[in-house]
Each structure stands twice: as structure tokens, then as C-alpha cells.
């Protein structure tokens, strides 16, 4: 689903990624870990074609990202849902509208939207908050809305960039359960995190980056002392 082959991205003399190769299958759940400046954001930006690789191949599903024209980039991004540490919800839209908006952008019919949004709000456990505004919700609830928005169009890949970074441990655990549940329906998940406790507990595949190099790729542990 996500295959990097000998990918290099330089920022002038700075290494973003160097000769990075990694293969993530459909349905995998992968933690991407490493110190600040290691290249994690570079990895994510390359997947989304927010930046271009200098060399190598990046395949996302059926797309060779390095060969995509600008016109085709929106099609690629539609296959990828993304959630962030800071939620990034639209403050003037309700929960319902925030999630529905992701379908409206793709010109889904009102009928489809009316059917699907309540389903997805129920899946993430916030049906009772549909008419609230983001600032009326707890952080954990806001992240649930963000996840609902990210998955409503059935992306093949869900990228979660430090999704528990603003959450207390119990709330974070609830979000991890939700991500695990989404993963079990077949969505490939790539999660960037510094949360050692979560990584150690979940026994998923861990890809570690340091100074632009993939230094470890195995099941199990976070592997760094914070």
C-alpha cells in the first residue's frame, strides 16, 4: 500500500530522507518513530506529495507518487485520511457539519451525506455531540470528530500525526482503541508518535528513523528512552 524504494529527499545540504526503503502492506498498522529532526514529517509529506523526492520511487496503492502530475494529486490525497495532534476542526461548523463537509467537497449527494454522517459519528462514539461546536467538546471528543472526518470517504490509508499528543493517558487509550478498530476494518494506518507507553503496549510494527535513515523495522517496542 505504501512502498518507498531508495527514496532520497535533501533540503539543500540537510538530509530529509536518504535511500529510505520501506514496504507497508494493506491493512498494516505501523508506528513511525524517531527523534525530532529524524525525517518523520518528510516521510509524511512525501506520501501526500506536499514535497517531491529527489530520487527513488514512492508507490501509494496504484499511484507512483513521483510521477503524478499536479492535476492528479487531489486523487491521491482522496485515498489518504489524515489526523493531527491539534485536530484542525472548523470552529464555525458543528460536529455534524465538520464531518459532512468532507463529503460535500467531493460532491457527494445530500442523501448519501445524511445517511453516512450519522453512521460515522456513531462509529467514533460522538453521536450525542453532533450539534455541538468544536470548542464545546473535550480534546478527546475533538479528536474523535477529526478521525470521523478523516475516514468518512473510506480512505485506504489513515495517517495519524501525533494524534494523542494533546490527550491525557486515558483519553489517548480510547483514541488508540478507535484507531485499532478502524485498522481492523482494513484501513492501513501509519501513526507518527513519541508516545513510548502506547507503542510498547500495542505490539505493532515499529519503523524507526534517525537522521533520514530507516534504522529499525520490527514488531514491538518504541526503543528510545525519552
Interacting residues toward ligand ADP by CB under 6 A: 11, 14, 16, 34, 36-42, 94, 96-97, 110, 113-114, 118, 130-131
**Nearest-approach distance from CB 89 to ligand ADP, in angstroms:** 14
Spatial separation of the C-alpha atoms in residues 226 and 215, rounded to whole Å: 17
Which residue's CB is nearer to ligand ADP, number 64 or number 131? 131
Spatial separation of the C-alpha atoms in residues 24 and 80, rounded to whole Å: 14
Read off the C-alpha cell for 189.
Answer: 494506518
Helix (H, G, I), strand (E, B), or coil: what is residue 82? Answer: strand
Which residue's CB is nearer to ligand ADP, number 34 or number 140? 34
Which residue's CB is nearer to ligand ADP, number 85 or number 171? 85
Spatial separation of the C-alpha atoms in residues 175 and 124, rounded to whole Å: 9
Degrees to nearest 5, angle at CA 40 with 34 and 42:
150
**Nearest-approach distance from CB 209 to ligand ADP, in angstroms:** 6
**Nearest-approach distance from CB 36 to ligand ADP, in angstroms:** 5
CA distances from 117 to 85, 124, 148, 205 (A): 23, 11, 9, 31
**Nearest-approach distance from CB 121 to ligand ADP, in angstroms:** 8
Which residue's CB is nearer to ligand ADP, number 19 or number 41? 41
Amino acid at each position: 500500500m505504501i512502498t518507498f524504494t531508495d527514496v532520497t529527499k535533501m533540503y539543500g545540504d540537510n538530509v530529509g530522507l536518504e535511500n529510505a526503503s520501506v514496504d507497508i502492506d494493506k491493512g498494516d498498522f505501523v508506528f513511525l518513530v524517531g527523534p525530532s529532526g529524524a525525517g518523520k514529517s518528510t516521510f509524511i509529506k512525501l506520501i501526500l506529495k506536499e514535497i517531491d523526492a529527489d530520487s527513488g520511487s514512492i508507490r501509494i496503492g496504484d499511484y507512483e507518487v513521483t510521477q503524478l502530475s499536479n492535476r492528479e494529486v487531489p486523487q491521491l490525497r482522496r485515498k489518504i485520511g489524515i489526523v493531527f495532534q491539534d485536530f484542525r476542526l472548523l470552529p464555525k461548523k458543528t460536529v455534524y457539519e465538520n464531518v459532512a463537509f468532507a463529503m460535500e467537497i467531493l460532491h457527494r449527494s445530500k442523501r448519501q451525506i445524511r445517511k453516512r454522517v450519522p453512521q460515522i459519528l456513531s462509529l467514533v462514539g460522538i453521536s450525542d455531540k453532533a450539534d455541538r461546536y468544536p470548542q464545546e467538546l473535550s480534546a478527546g471528543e475533538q479528536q474523535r470528530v477529526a478521525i470521523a472526518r478523516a475516514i468518512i470517504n473510506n480512505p485506504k490509508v489513515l495517517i495519524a500525526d501525533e494524534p494523542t499528543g494533546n490527550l491525557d493517558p486515558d483519553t489517548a487509550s480510547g483514541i488508540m482503541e478507535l484507531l485499532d478498530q478502524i485498522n481492523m476494518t482494513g484501513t492501513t494506518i501509519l501513526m507518527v508518535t513519541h508516545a513510548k507507553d502506547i507503542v510498547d503496549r500495542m505490539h505493532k510494527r515499529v519503523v524507526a528513523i534517525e537522521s533520514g535513515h530507516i534504522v529499525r523495522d520490527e514488531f514491538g517496542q518504541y526503543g528510545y528512552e525519552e
